[in-house]
């Protein structure tokens, strides 16, 4: 080996070490968790002084006393269903981050009433919720409609440190009657969380770190933290949100008929919300009412995204688009990693490799494609770089421990500093950078990465910030660590609107963020981070996104094909087939992975990927409607089966299937050489599951073998649903805009079905500002299909028409139809039967604005 080769090799090795896990992730025993996990040992006991308890319009107030300190307690209630326990030791403590995470739309319910006072407890009631506050030992029992569903501090393990040991807070909560625990993403874990209190296991850790090629089936921390936990069972469900942005560990214990959790945070506030349900769906909706729902995305964001780390030049980007078109593969965007920038300076373009960004965007726009460019929160320390100059001059960077000097660490550009999003001026400055003037980027949406934040070569701090760094106003980083990425994506989202001046002139932003916290759904989609090209990463992507969806963040996907490594052809195809059924659908690969855009593959592979893309695009009217409905009621876009069928004991652990809305059940194939899958079909004998691609009717009889080949994964429509589709294969979402709709009517055992459809202009805020949209309901009953407006006062006159109706399992034969009371002539519509018994009516051209009825005669 010559010297240059050795140099190159050692450089490569150095880079690998530099970027990928230098450090092993900290165990509980290496952090504050070690001492707190032992509570109550070595901690003072608190008791509630019942004489201090007062009930006022604000809630129930009282004092918790111990040998060493007194704490104030307030129990309040929002929207009749959410109970909040706030414990604090200083009256004017700021709840800094939770203030912006929690929506102000939830109303305080004022009507606590004292029901009963004894020498050991006080019982208060508010609507159908009652709380028994016990003095000594202190605990609170919460009941809904007289049924005990949660106990706060059942083991007397409350911790509120104020002294020299630290500033940790901790609480245990138990849930009588619950059978499973879900939530607290992000972990590479099954939907149902495991007991962590046996076998020397570690608690689930919530601490945003850049954990590439993470361990699967693990409690290790990943990129995001959403401290909401659902205790679920076939009888009722309860949720708790531990509103704390510091490093947090959660011990889970699953008993046969009870779930217990112990939340431990390194610092921050004791601020606990209990969502009383009583169903899982209600709990999830209640959580959505306090941290928000995702805004309606642009239609394109639901299409297929092609990324690679990174496309290096302008012609390369154009080439990718051309190849997709040439090979008839649908595509909506091309993604750029940091290499598009001028020497790793965000908000600039490399003058040689991307000499004409505006021209490139225009060229992409011409074929209805978008560019998505990365903007990370670290900025190159280079004098003369306008962002760095301004950030330095105006003190926009995060500071060191002393609060005086800008903190300097390693990012992609080498020495970097980080924007302090806690500083309003810094945040506003960052937002302003998206202006078309600074960042010549109009047809561009944004990818935020490295925002855990990642600091390279900082192994003592797990390659992120030291908790001692200072934000504006003396805020200690440790207290707000898990919300750093949240704040970047919030600022990015607002910056992308501001570049147009106002919502009136804006198109809806699309932001993807790697780091996330509770409430991130209001600004960004997420993905499962730097995964790997192997079957088990494909398998875990399903429960990971289902968990995130329950935790409020529906817009989730995994890098199709795996970020690092090389998928073989079979895995590659299966990943496209599965990825087409997660909300965010993007192929992405690492810098050192060989190119793998679908057009590079053999005809056979390509045609299966094409079919997966076509299936995705055909169902976009349904996906878009689900995202719309999510904005209204907080229902996740994808759901585990137990969400819709909570009383089925056997469904509690099913997390390898995806319910898309409540009407489509998808069974991804995640094992190699699979010829048969064992699907769990819910709903009992009376529920029909219709294999739409192969015209086979199943019933909801639980575990059911379904044969598969390489071409397809099972996609089942629930009997009773009406699914709107646009079946014509097209190069992009925009190209489908005026394509005709087909309604797939899948009857239930009573020959009835219902569904909905949301339509607007796909990209602007006119739906919100001027009610320019259609939200329609469809109902099939008594051999008659009717449409009606769900939102009477909304109008949109540019919608495509319904050309075709397909009834999948008609009972009685129909030979003609009557439309809006008038018999149709033969040449106007065609009524035909397929060999498989489906009934189709084509040539209809129904205007969506006008309600219609179609009788099948």
CA–CA separation, 660 vs 638, rounded Å?
5
φ/ψ (deg, to 5) at 829: -130, 155
CB 297 within 8 A of CB 556: no
- With CA atoms as reference, report the closest residue to 605 among 632, 635, 569: 569
**Cβ 397 to ligand NAG shortest distance, Å:** 14
**Cβ 100 to ligand NAG shortest distance, Å:** 4
Q: What Å distances lie between residue 430 and 67, 212, 261, CA to CA?
A: 48, 27, 39
**Which CB, 278 or 377, lies closer to ligand NAG?**
278
**Which CB, 216 or 854, lies closer to ligand NAG?**
854
Q: What is the DSSP letter of 201?
A: P
**Which CB, 161 or 449, lies closer to ligand NAG?**
449
**Cβ 427 to ligand NAG shortest distance, Å:** 12
**Which CB, 108 or 769, lies closer to ligand NAG?**
108
**Cβ 170 to ligand NAG shortest distance, Å:** 26
559 contact partners, CB below 8 Å, separation of at least 6: 307, 527, 528, 530, 531, 586, 587, 588, 589
Write out the DSSP string of 663-686: TEEE----STT-SEEEEEEEEEEE
Judge if the upstream peptide bond of residue 40 is cis by omega within 30 degrees of 0.
Answer: yes
**Which CB, 486 or 690, lies closer to ligand NAG?**
486
CA–CA separation, 805 vs 785, rounded Å?
10
The secondary structure element, H or E, covering residue 183 is strand 180-183
**Cβ 7 to ligand NAG shortest distance, Å:** 16
**Which CB, 672 or 830, lies closer to ligand NAG?**
830
- With CA atoms as reference, report the closest residue to 285 among 523, 81, 526, 516: 81
**Cβ 453 to ligand NAG shortest distance, Å:** 15
**Which CB, 367 or 704, lies closer to ligand NAG?**
367
**Cβ 544 to ligand NAG shortest distance, Å:** 23
**Which CB, 795 or 842, lies closer to ligand NAG?**
842
**Which CB, 319 or 855, lies closer to ligand NAG?**
855
CA–CA separation, 135 vs 290, rounded Å?
30
- With CA atoms as reference, report the closest residue to 312 among 595, 563, 732, 15: 595
**Which CB, 314 or 443, lies closer to ligand NAG?**
443
**Cβ 20 to ligand NAG shortest distance, Å:** 11
**Cβ 166 to ligand NAG shortest distance, Å:** 28
**Cβ 693 to ligand NAG shortest distance, Å:** 22
**Cβ 707 to ligand NAG shortest distance, Å:** 34
Q: What is the DSSP letter of 70?
A: E
Token code pair at residue 554: 């529906």
**Which CB, 54 or 108, lies closer to ligand NAG?**
108
CB 101 within 8 A of CB 518: yes
**Which CB, 444 or 638, lies closer to ligand NAG?**
444
**Cβ 91 to ligand NAG shortest distance, Å:** 17
CB 277 within 8 A of CB 237: yes
CA–CA separation, 249 vs 206, rounded Å?
6
Q: Quick count: other Cβ atoms within 10 Å of Cβ 316?
A: 13
Residues that bind ligand NAG (CB under 6 A): 79-81, 99-100, 103-107, 127-128, 144-145, 278, 309-310, 337-339, 365, 386, 389-390, 412, 432, 442-443, 591, 738-740, 782, 803, 843, 845, 855
10 Å CB burial of residue 795 (0-12, 13-18, 19+) is: middle
**Cβ 301 to ligand NAG shortest distance, Å:** 14
Beta strands per DSSP E along 674-740: 676-691, 696-707, 715-718, 721-725
Which alpha helices (DSSP H) does 516-640 contain, by range?
535-550, 569-579, 603-618, 620-633
End-to-end alpha carbon distance in the chain: 82
CA–CA separation, 83 vs 273, rounded Å?
6
**Which CB, 385 or 555, lies closer to ligand NAG?**
385
């Amino acid at each position: 080996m010559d010297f240059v080769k050795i140099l190159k090799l050692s450089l490569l090795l150095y880079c690998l070490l530099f970027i990928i896990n230098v450090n092993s992730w900290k165990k509980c025993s290496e952090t504050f968790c070690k001492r707190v996990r032992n509570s109550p040992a070595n901690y003072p006991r608190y008791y509630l002084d019942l004489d201090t308890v007062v009930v006022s319009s604000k809630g129930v107030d009282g004092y918790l006393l111990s040998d060493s300190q007194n704490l104030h307690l307030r129990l309040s209630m929002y929207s009749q269903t959410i109970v909040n326990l706030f414990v604090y030791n200083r009256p004017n403590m700021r709840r800094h981050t939770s203030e912006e995470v929690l929506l102000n739309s939830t109303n305080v319910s004022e009507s606590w009433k004292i029901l009963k006072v004894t020498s050991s407890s006080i019982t208060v009631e508010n609507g159908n919720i009652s709380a028994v506050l016990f003095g000594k030992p202190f605990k609170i029992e919460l009941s809904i409609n007289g049924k005990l569903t949660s106990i706060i501090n059942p083991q007397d393990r409350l911790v509120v440190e104020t002294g020299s040991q630290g500033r940790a807070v901790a609480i245990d909560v138990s849930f009588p009657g619950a059978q499973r625990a879900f939530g607290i993403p992000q972990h590479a874990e099954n939907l149902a969380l495991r007991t962590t209190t046996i076998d020397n296991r570690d608690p689930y850790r919530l601490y945003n770190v850049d954990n590439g090629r993470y361990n699967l089936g693990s409690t290790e921390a990943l990129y995001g933290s959403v401290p909401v936990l659902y205790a679920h069972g076939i009888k009722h469900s309860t949720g708790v949100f531990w509103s704390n942005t510091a490093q947090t560990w959660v011990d889970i214990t699953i008993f046969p008929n009870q779930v217990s959790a112990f939340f431990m945070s390194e610092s921050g506030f004791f601020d606990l919300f209990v969502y009383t349900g009583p169903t899982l769906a209600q709990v999830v909706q209640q959580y959505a009412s306090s941290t928000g729902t995702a805004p309606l995305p642009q239609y394109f964001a639901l299409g297929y995204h092609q990324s690679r780390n990174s496309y290096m030049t302008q012609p390369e980007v154009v080439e990718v688009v051309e190849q997709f078109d040439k090979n008839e593969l649908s595509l909506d965007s091309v993604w750029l990693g940091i290499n598009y920038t001028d020497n790793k300076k965000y908000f600039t373009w490399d003058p040689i490799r991307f000499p004409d960004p505006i021209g490139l965007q225009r060229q992409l726009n011409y074929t209805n494609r978008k560019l998505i460019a990365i903007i990370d929160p670290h900025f190159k320390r280079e004098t003369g770089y306008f962002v760095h100059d301004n950030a330095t001059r105006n003190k926009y960077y995060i500071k060191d421990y002393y609060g005086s000097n800008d903190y300097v660490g390693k990012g992609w550009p080498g020495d970097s500093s980080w924007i302090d999003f806690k500083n309003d001026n810094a945040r506003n400055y960052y937002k302003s950078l998206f202006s078309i003037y600074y960042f010549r980027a109009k047809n561009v949406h944004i990818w935020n990465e490295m925002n855990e934040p990642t600091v390279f070569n900082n192994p003592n701090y797990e390659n992120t910030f030291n908790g001692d760094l200072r934000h504006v106003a003396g805020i200690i980083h440790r207290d707000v660590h898990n919300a750093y990425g949240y704040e970047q994506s919030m600022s990015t989202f607002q910056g992308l609107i501001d570049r147009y001046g106002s919502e009136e002139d804006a198109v809806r932003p699309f932001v993807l963020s790697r780091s996330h916290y509770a409430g991130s759904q209001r600004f960004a989609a997420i993905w499962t981070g730097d995964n790997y090209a192997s079957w088990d990463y494909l398998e875990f992507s399903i429960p990971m996104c289902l968990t995130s969806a329950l935790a409020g963040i529906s817009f989730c996907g995994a890098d199709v094909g795996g970020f690092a490594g090389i998928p073989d052809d079979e895995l590659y195809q299966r990943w496209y087939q599965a990825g087409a059924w997660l909300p965010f659908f993007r192929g992405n690969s690492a810098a050192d992975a060989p190119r793998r855009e679908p057009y590079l593959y053999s005809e056979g592979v390509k045609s299966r990927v094409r079919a997966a893309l076509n299936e995705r695009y055909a169902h976009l009217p349904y996906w878009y409607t689900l995202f719309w409905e999510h904005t209204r009621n907080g229902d996740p876009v994808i759901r585990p089966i137990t969400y819709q069928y909570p009383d089925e004991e056997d469904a509690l652990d099913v997390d390898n299937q995806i319910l898309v809305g409540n009407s489509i059940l998808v069974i991804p194939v995640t094992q190699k050489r699979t010829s048969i899958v064992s699907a769990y079909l819910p709903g009992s004998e009376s529920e029909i599951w219709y294999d739409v691609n192969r015209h086979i009717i199943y019933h909801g009889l639980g575990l059911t073998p379904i044969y598969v080949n390489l071409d397809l994964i099972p996609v089942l429509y629930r009997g009773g649903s009406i699914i709107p589709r646009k079946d014509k294969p097209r190069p992009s979402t925009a190209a489908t805009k005026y394509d005709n709709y087909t309604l797939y009517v899948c009857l239930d055992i009573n020959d009835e079905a219902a569904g909905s459809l949301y339509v607007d202009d796909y990209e602007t805020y006119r739906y919100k500002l001027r009610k320019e949209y259609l939200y329609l309901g469809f109902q099939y009953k008594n051999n008659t299909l009717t449409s009606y407006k769900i939102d009477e006062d909304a109008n949109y006159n540019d919608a495509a028409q319904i050309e075709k109706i397909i009834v999948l399992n008609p009972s009685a034969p129909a030979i003609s139809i009557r439309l809006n009371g008038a018999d149709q002539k033969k040449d106007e519509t065609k009524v035909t039967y397929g060999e498989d018994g489906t009934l189709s009516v084509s040539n209809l051209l129904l205007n969506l604005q006008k309600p219609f009825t179609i009788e099948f005669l």
